[in-house]
């Protein structure tokens, strides 16, 4: 019984390592990271002076399992900052750029 438990743990550990390596393999083959994108809507709370980020009060984003929250999000291009102003309701597209990091690649005010 005890032996079986140990063997199962080793098997699960092996699977975790295998799937991790698979993810890195994808990156190497494509020559770039596999990017996940997701769309959201929210209201602009502030825009960084240098155009590097915007702070949004965004609605839940089901694809990422994000609840509604207010957060600063990096902008892929500072030009995006010029397209919106505080209190604008916006639609945006996020691109994953790291394990838990996202940046906005598209940002536009909506009615
Ligand atoms: Cu958030």
pLDDT tens for residues 35-61?
A: 689 999 999 999 999 999 999 999 999
Q: Are strands 102-109 and 89-96 parallel, antiparallel or unpaired?
A: antiparallel
Distance 14 CA to ligand 1 centre (A): 33
DSSP 3-state of 69: strand
Distance 70 CA to ligand 1 centre (A): 6
Distance 93 CA to ligand 1 centre (A): 13
Percent of the chain predicted with pLDDT > 90 = 64
Token pair recorded at residue 51: 């155009």
Distance 65 CA to ligand 1 centre (A): 10
Distance 17 CA to ligand 1 centre (A): 29
In Å, how far are 55, 59, 98, 104 from 91, measured between CA atoms?
13, 10, 22, 10
Provide the terminal-to-terminal Cα distance of the chain, rounded to the nearest Å.
63
Confidence at residue 15, expressed as pLDDT on a 0 to 100 scale: 46
pLDDT tens profile 83-95: 999 999 999 999 9
Confidence at residue 36, expressed as pLDDT on a 0 to 100 scale: 84
């Amino acid at each position: 019984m005890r032996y079986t438990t140990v063997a199962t743990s080793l098997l699960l550990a092996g699977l975790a390592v295998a799937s991790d390596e698979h993810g890195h393999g994808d990156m190497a083959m494509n020559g770039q990271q596999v990017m996940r994108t997701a769309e959201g809507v929210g209201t602009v709370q502030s825009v960084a002076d240098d155009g590097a980020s915007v702070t949004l009060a965004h609605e839940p984003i089901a694809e990422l399992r994000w609840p509604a929250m207010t957060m600063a999000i990096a902008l892929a291009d500072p030009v995006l900052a010029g397209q919106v102003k505080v209190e604008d309701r916006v639609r945006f597209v996020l691109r994953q750029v790291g394990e838990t990091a996202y940046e906005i690649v598209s940002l536009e005010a909506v009615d």
